[in-house]
A and B are shown apart, each in its own frame.
Chain A
Amino acid sequence: MRIAILIHHAYGIGGTIRTTLNSAQALSGRHDVEVVSVFRHRDRTVFDPGPGVRLRHLVDLRPDSPDHDHPDHQRPSRHYPRADGHYTRYSALTDARIEEYLRTCDADVIVGTRPGLNTLLALRAPRGPVLVGQEHLTLACHSRRLRLTLRDAYPRLDALTTVTETDAADYRSRMRLPGVRVEAVPNGVPEPAVAPADPGAKWVVAAGRLAPAKRYDLLLRAFARVVAERPDWRLRIYGAGPQRDRLRDCIDSLGLYNHAFLMGAAHPIESEWCKGSIAASTSSLEAFGMTIVEAMRCGLPVVATRCPHGPAEIIKDGVDGRLVTMNDVGAIAEGLLELIDDDDLRRRMGAAARDNARRYDPALVAERYTDLFTELASRRGRGARLGTARTTAHRARGALLSTAFTARDGLRRARAATRSKGSAA
């Protein structure tokens, strides 16, 4: 199969980029894989997808590129949905380049990797290829406006993949997607190139963007309680982000400057996991929980908050890690101390974490994608190029239904407005 994966940009360090390039590499063993980065702003990718993956870009934003000052890039996009958070980065130039790419693309399967790109695929891809939208965030975290956009567009996809079962169930129950396969396919995390972590190391390690949703403030407060009992243990938090100064202040005010350290961004992160013996994830929201799987693959048991959506689908509580109550400093501290105080438990859970995280190997994830793509292609007839009549029918029906739902929503809104006016009066 020829598989094309359309991504906002492939040159950074984020979770979507990481997992997309991992999957692309794994798929390239048996398929012809092209990763299409809408933007390029660096010479090289941080992650190397390997020689089997073709990487191309549509708009080159490096300073000496003619695209950099292209007048069309100053004009707003007319195709990219406004409700997607990246709308302002798209332009008339990206419209034209994406349109041209889709027109000339000869892939059997085209995969989108964020709501705006999935929408473009659904609404603007020519007939022929199987269209798959990937949801790397969750339906629940999208704005109402974006949900309405997706409701119009997604019925025209052949499949929508989410990274958790919970989110797949959400899409099935909250959005009418007739004829669209909705399936959970987790992110792939490769086997680390370093030896498993040593359970004897007295380091707790966390990694992720220093963003409010990661709740590193809670982790620091919990760690202050840990240090009160076990001053021989220390904490490292890897990552960069807007919360850095705030977390610095938090460390200072808790008097944790001998015990908790902001390490900055690190790549590859497995080199840092392997120095710890416990990992911590205290987010209030994790669409998946890539760092949890990464830590487990290095043999670290993870103490994670039971937040929506990923952690509870990754960690088997009490077996290969600990799930603790969200937003609860005491529960996080208790979870950490339970593992800190019990060397044998740490060792056992670390070994179980390593075994259980093997299910996220990119080879297995790629197999699930291959099965899905193959099935979708054959559903059209004997090959991806055939059966366009049926596809058209499926998409037309989807479009009609989604319009009907939009109309119904409008009606509901109107009714609700009437009701609230009535009660106010």
Chain B
Amino acid sequence: MTLSLTTDDDTGREPGRSADPGSPPAPHADCVSDEAGDITFTVAVPPAGGRWETLLLQRRGGDTAADSVHLPLTESPGGGSLTGTLPLALRLAEGRWDAHVTRGESQRIRLRPGVNDLRTLADDAGRARRTEGAVCLPYTTKYGNLSVRTWLRWPHAEAGRIHLRDHTGTVEALLLGAELTDAACLEARARALDAPALTVPVTREGPHVTARLDLADLAGRQPAERDRTEWELWLRPDGAGGRADAVRLARILDDVPDKRAVYRYPAVRVARNRTAAFAYTGAGDLSVEVHGLGERRHG
């Protein structure tokens, strides 16, 4: 159900001075992930003014009933704190969910992050055990509030190590939720260009695939008048003409909310005036970005 509520913090922005001296401090939640990837939120019981009843997660930019999720808060055995669990089985839609605590029909307040223990999410070994491509990752927003980054991808191709040598980029990935055949291949697609995808074969070992991309070839397909082209990387489990859906290469099985900032790769100079570089998007998808150098006209 969706409550019609008033709040001073709908956008995730820093609350104004009113939240400062005098008014009670904003509640903090400690988040702990378990082996399965479920997240437990722990909120201190406020000293006065009654306890919080639910944990409300609200998807940013969403306004349907499914974009608001209430999780019951229950008093911990020792008292003093309230806990609520976000199970991956809820399969929240992919996006950013702002966390609040609520009381009654009309009171809600944005949560601030406490101390997180998300070590099970940082652990690679757990990735294959993950339940059907659902990931919930609590993080601190730019304004210091608590939100949850979610991904929901099934089947999913988790991008791994990338090796750069001369003009060749080799990318490793793990396919979950689909079967690979001998025809499996990797496709580089440029949405902005009216051009066919570049297809390369993959070598496979169990669910692991390795694909070699000729970055010079990719860069050569960029028309001279363009400064930049993004090539999305997709895995075709049963080949270019296969029936299985293409799976976007992405990185979702770790504890990093913004892959763009952390997983970065050097740009490879593939021609006198072109570079190509592997890069993650804000959504965690892996692409190759081709940039033109010195082609801009001056004056």
Contact = CB atoms under 8 A, between A and B. Distances in A.
The interface size bin for chain B is 20 to 34
The interface size bin for chain A is 20 to 34
A274 interface: yes
A72 interface: no
A416 B163 CA distance: 60
B154 interface: no
A80 interface: no
A248 interface: yes
B123 A201 contact: yes
B154 to A, nearest CB: 26
A268 B115 contact: yes
Contacts of B264: 248, 257
Interface of A: 43-44, 48, 192-195, 197-198, 201, 203, 248, 252-253, 255, 257-258, 261-264, 267-268, 270-271, 274-275
A178 to B, nearest CB: 43
Interface string B86-121: 000000000000000000000000000011111100
Given A43-B14, A43-B19, A193-B30, A257 B119 contact: no
15 contacts: A43-B15, A44-B19, A44-B144, A252-B265, A258-B163, A261-B263, A262-B262, A263-B256, A263-B262, A264-B261, A268-B115, A271-B116, A271-B117, A275-B119, A275-B122
B59 to A, nearest CB: 24
B17 A43 contact: yes
Interface centre among A195, A262, A274 (most CB of B within 10 A): A274
A27 to B, nearest CB: 20
A43 B117 contact: no
Given A43-B17, A43-B19, A252 B266 contact: yes
Given A44-B20, A258-B161, A203 B117 contact: no
Interface string B180-198: 0000000000000000000
Contacts of B164: 255
Interface centre among A48, A248, A271 (most CB of B within 10 A): A271
Interface of A is mostly: loop
B255 interface: yes
A43 B118 contact: no
Given A44-B19, A198-B119, A271-B115, 16 more contacts: A43-B16, A48-B25, A194-B115, A201-B119, A248-B264, A257-B162, A257-B264, A261-B263, A262-B262, A263-B262, A264-B262, A267-B140, A274-B117, A274-B119, A275-B118, A275-B255
Contacts of A253: 266
Given A193-B115, A271-B117, A275-B255, A43 B20 contact: yes
A203 B266 contact: no
Interface centre among B30, B265, B266 (most CB of A within 10 A): B266
Contacts of B19: 43-44
